[in-house]
Amino acid sequence: MIRRLLAPLLAVLLASPAFAEDEPFRVGYVRVMDDAQVMVAHEAGLYAKYGLDAELIEFSSGTDLIKGIVGGQLDIGVLGFSNAFTWASRGADLKIVGGAQRGYHALLAHDDAGIDEVADLAGKSLASQKQGSTADIVLKGVTLAGAGLSADDLNIMGVAPSVAVQSLAGGRVDAAFLFEPYASIAKLQAPVTEIYEIGEVWPFPCMVVITSEQTLEERRDVLWAALDAQREAIAMLENDPQQAAGYITSYFIQGDVVETRNQGEVDSEAVIAEAITTNDFSAELSDDDIARMKELAGIMHEQGILAQADFDVDALLDLSWQEEREL
């Protein structure tokens, strides 16, 4: 009798999208707009909604983050796929299981530097990200190459994005290659002009969701719950950037206002909401995205980062979550 009365309740619980598990779910992220879905999923309670006790662990770069996945300290990370390529080429068992964000990187030139197009960077100084990062690979292999330049034609400095903004404002560098929200902040605080944005010229899946093959085998249901939570976070970022900004502004800006060069004080949440709208977030990896990833693998080989000319990108992909969700 009791079993018969409990059967409907049990059916409801089993049909719920939530997945209860006692062990914490460890998510690696970098404090950039590209990883905003992780921050929103955590701050808006979406991981908890799907039954996860999520622990966010911050890294200074994707290059450092990938080591946490390889070493078993993380369950997933949102980072550039080039990191997975590099480690997989060394034998690491990694899987790319979903999308996150399609590349936004703006090339900002100081107004006094005489830079009107990418080719004008010759002989100039440029602040960018760490050598070997996805941004660095794309900068050299796509942005500069498209203008007939090589890295040797200018002085590229790998610095933190906040340092790049300060350097632009102080005139210590001629230009910077920045992601959000630092590009938006730089435009408010420095005399700069955006001369190029790679997402408009050469869209590619800058950030993806990466896990280890062991985690995928042992915690697949938990991973799928995390991807569901992040997909819901992406929907908020895409459909209601102001609401999303309310959850994540403190990750990027301390205080209620941003001091600008010539506009006085600007509301911090408004700055972040605007920065959100410049990005293209996507939980899905499309055929075009995968084709870009294969193109980047070729560029990485040309740059000497990947030894294999025929690196097998498909072997790293497990897109069963998006296939099950019919994305």
pTM over 0.75: yes
Superfamily the domain 106-201 falls into: Periplasmic binding protein-like II (3.40.190.10)
Q: What does the pLDDT read at residue 22?
A: 66
CATH fold match for the domains 21-103+204-324 and 106-201: yes
Q: What does the pLDDT read at residue 63?
A: 84
Q: How far is CA 306 from the centre of its chain?
A: 21
CA distances to 7, 193, 224, 234, 266 from 50, in Å: 22, 43, 10, 15, 36
Q: What does the pLDDT read at residue 7?
A: 40
CATH of 21-103+204-324, one of 3.20.20.370, 3.40.50.300, 3.40.190.10, 3.50.50.100: 3.40.190.10
Q: What is the pLDDT along the chain (327 residues), one digit of tens a residue?
A: 433 433 433 333 333 444 445 689 999 999 999 999 999 999 999 999 999 999 999 998 888 899 999 999 999 999 999 999 999 999 999 999 999 999 899 999 999 999 999 999 999 999 998 888 888 999 999 999 999 999 999 999 999 888 999 999 899 999 999 999 999 999 999 999 999 999 999 999 999 999 999 999 999 999 999 999 999 999 999 999 999 999 999 999 999 999 888 888 999 999 999 999 999 999 999 999 999 999 999 999 999 999 999 999 999 999 999 999 987
Residue spans per domain, the chain: 21-103+204-324, 106-201
Position 74: which residue type?
L
Q: What does the pLDDT read at residue 260?
A: 87
Position 150: which residue type?
S
Per-residue DSSP letters for 246-302? HHHHHHH--SSEEE-SSS-EEEHHHHHHHHHHT-EE-S---HHHHHHHHHHHHHHHH
- Collapsing DSSP to helix, strand or coil, 80 comes out as strand
State residue 101 phi and psi, 5-degree precision: -150, 140
Q: What does the pLDDT read at residue 3?
A: 38
